[in-house]
Amino acid sequence: MTAPILQAREVSVTFDVSAGLFRGKRQLHAVRDVSFALRRGEALGIVGESGCGKSTLAMTLLNLLAPSHGEVLLDGTTLARLPQAVIARRIQPVFQDPYSSLNPARSVADAILQPLRIHRIGDHAGQRRRLERIMDMVGLPAVLSGNFPDQLSGGQRQRVAIARALIMQPEILVCDEPTSALDVSVQAQILNLLQDLRKELGLTYVFISHNLGVVEYVATRVVVMYLGRVIEEAPTARLFARPLHPYTVALLESVLTPDPELGLPVSASPGEYPNPLAVPSGCPFHPRCPRAMAQCRTLLPQERTLDDGRVACHLFDS
């Protein structure tokens, strides 16, 4: 088996946040002991409810946030030992909102070429050739190179963002909700584009989304997070066919189906998402879990390796 290109080892990210007037500060554990290994050509989907730590983890993988504990490794070398310029050439982000991720004062050509200019890659003629090639690759007509973001559709803006990420010829794309701000029909176009680019360029993806249908289409493996922890990881087909953790089951049962005869989905996890500043004792999911047992209230479950994946749940202790 090939060595992972990107690896997280017990990564934790903690913030000091205000507890209120005259109450000082409290610690918010946004990410807790997250580990995974990503091999070349894979697409790792990371899913979970809002506030589970997905975007914080993405910022850590890009080295835009330093982990409070643990480390992220790129080809076996911790990011903390690599210059940010080296990391930027190998790992690039595609952010959620194409409306805010592009400078309204920069033309399409300037936006896409900006990374090359910052890193002083190539001469003017070489940069223009690469611009033309990458615009064609992402489906942007050359005539749009002089346009500004307010003259583009949402889908075109996201294609510009993808082209800007690819102009550096990175090995890894970290896509944080890259289609959530787009119409459904445009989402499909962007997802198909990302799939084609992964195959054509041999890219490796970290794909973060709350949309399980999107993740099922894009990812080869899926990590499920809850309150900053990984509670299940498995190959995509197995996880969607036979989820193990009760929270994963609840997520899949909450997906809206286009079949009108099935009606609206009913979540298997009643109650609101807990306050990350007041994480329940034991298993953090136990207050919402329909299968909670006595030990779930006091003991944090340990990870178990099962069915080419892993799960952290007391149901699988034996």
pLDDT at 255: 64
Using one digit for the tens of pLDDT, what is the confidence trace for 107-128?
999 999 999 999 999 999 999 9
pTM of the model: 0.90
Burial of residue 287 (CB within 10 Å: 0-12, 13-18, 19+) is middle
CA distance 121 to 115: 8
CA distance 85 to 164: 15
Given a contact cutoff of 8 angstroms between Cβ atoms, the answer to whether 158 and 111 are in contact is: no
At residue 263 the predicted structure's pLDDT band, cuts being 50, 70 and 90, is very low
221-226 and 204-208 beta bridge pairing: unpaired
Segment 84-89 long-range contacts (CB within 8 Å, at least 24 positions apart): 85/119, 87/62, 87/63, 88/115, 88/119, 88/168, 89/119, 89/168, 89/169, 89/170
221-226 and 229-235 beta bridge pairing: antiparallel
Given a contact cutoff of 8 angstroms between Cβ atoms, the answer to whether 235 and 72 are in contact is: no
Using one digit for the tens of pLDDT, what is the confidence trace for 213-224?
889 999 999 999
* Proportion of the chain above pLDDT 70, given as a percent: 93
**3-class DSSP state for residue 97?**
coil
CA nearest neighbour of 63 among 46, 80, 75: 80
The full set of domain ranges for the chain reads 6-97+171-316
Using one digit for the tens of pLDDT, what is the confidence trace for 273-282?
788 888 899 9
Using one digit for the tens of pLDDT, what is the confidence trace for 85-110?
999 999 999 988 777 888 999 999 99
Using one digit for the tens of pLDDT, what is the confidence trace for 173-227?
999 988 887 888 888 898 999 999 999 999 999 999 988 988 999 999 999 999 9
Given a contact cutoff of 8 angstroms between Cβ atoms, the answer to whether 251 and 47 are in contact is: yes
More confident position, 318 or 116: 116
pLDDT at 254: 78
**Which of the four CATH numbers 3.40.50.300, 2.40.50.140, 3.90.1530.10, 1.10.287.70 does domain 6-97+171-316 have?**
3.40.50.300
Residues 105/110/113/114 CA torsion (nearest 10 deg): -30
Q: Is a pLDDT exceeding 80 seen at residue 1?
A: no
More confident position, 37 or 50: 37
CA nearest neighbour of 136 among 119, 112, 153: 112
